[in-house]
Structure 1
Amino acid sequence: MTQTASGKRRSKLEGLAGLGMALLAAIAGAVLVERLTRPGEGGERIGPLPLPELLVEGWLNIDGAAPPTRESLAGRHVVLYFWSTDCLPCLQTLPSLARFNERWQERGVEVVALASDPSSRVGAVEAAIRRVQGMDWPVAYGAGMVFNQLGVNATPTYLLFDKKGVGVWRGHSVQGLEDELSLRL
C-alpha cells in the first residue's frame, strides 16, 4: 500500500488497474481511428488522381515484355492492386482477383499488382504467384514509392483508373471493384 497526498491509502493493484484501463482506452482509440479512416468494403469514388509512373524495384510475370507504363496502359481501365506477402487478407484475395481478371480483361480492364515487399523478399512474391492459378498479370515488388504517391497505407487496396488515366475509385474488396466497373462499362 502507498499513501497519496490526501492521506488516502492506495494499493499497487489499483495503480496497475488504472494503467491497464488507460492502455485499453489507447488501443480502442487507435482501432476507432483506423476504422473511421479506412474506406468501407464498397469503396469510395475518388479523383482526380493521375496514374503515376510505376517506379518499382522490379517486375515479375511479364515474360520478357516491357513493364507496364502510363503510356502502355492508356485507353484501358486499370486496376492497381496494392498488397504484400505478409498480409493474410491480401493472399486470401488473390484467387478472387484471378477470377475477376478472367472476367474483365476482355472488356479492356488491366490488372497490375504492386507488392510492398522489397527485392530481398522477391522469393515470397514469386511463391505467392505460383500458388494462385490464373495470376498472370504484371506483378511489381518494391513498390513503396507508388504506395506513398497514391496515399495507400492499408492492404489490400484496389485503385481503379479510367481510360484517361484518372483515378476514380478506391476500395478493399473485389466485389466493390466489380460493382464500380459494372456502372462504368
Structure 2
Amino acid sequence: MVQRKLENKFTYFLRDPRVTSNLPSRVDNLSPEKIWETFLSAIFYVGKGKRSRPYQHLYDAVQLWKTQESPSSKKIAVLFVYLFFKHVWNDGGGVICLHVFLNNIPVEAYTREAVMIGALGLENLTNAKGGEFYGVAAIWMSRQKRMLGVYLLYRAMGIFLNEGERQLYPEDIN
C-alpha cells in the first residue's frame, strides 16, 4: 500500500490595521453593516499557502524595508505587498495575517482563494491576478462563484472577530 502525504493548504488574508482599528474590540458599538464593510475594506491581499508561506511575504517586505531598497522582483504582487507593508509600518502599525479554512487539499484552497478574490474584486487588492478554479466550481456561473466568495468572506469575518487582531511588526520577523 502506497501512502501519500497530503499537502495541507489554507487560505489567508493580509489586512491593514489602520482600517480595522482593532475591530473585534469595537463590534458592540457598530452596526452589522459597518462591521462587514470594515472587515472587507481592510483586506489588501488574499492568498493560499502551506506552512509558513504567508510569512514569506512579510520576510521579503522586512528585508526591503530594512535596506530601503526598491523591490527588484518581477513579481508585481511582491512590489505591491511591499509598498503596502511599508506604508503600514511607517505609520507605526503592524500587518495582520489571518489564516482561515485550514487543512484543505490544494485544489480546494485554490478555489477558495479564487472565489474570495472574485468577490472582493481584484482591483481592490494587491494580488497580481485572480485565482484558479477547480472541480465543479470551474464551470459555475460568475454569480455562483461570487456568492460562494461572499459566504466564505462572511465566515472568515467570524473567525477574525473571535480570534482578535494580532499585528506583525518588522521586529517580529526573523
Q: TM-score, normalised by structure 2?
A: 0.27
Higher-Rg member (1/2): 1
Higher percent of residues as helix: 2
Q: TM-score, normalised by structure 1?
A: 0.26
Higher percent of residues as strand: 1
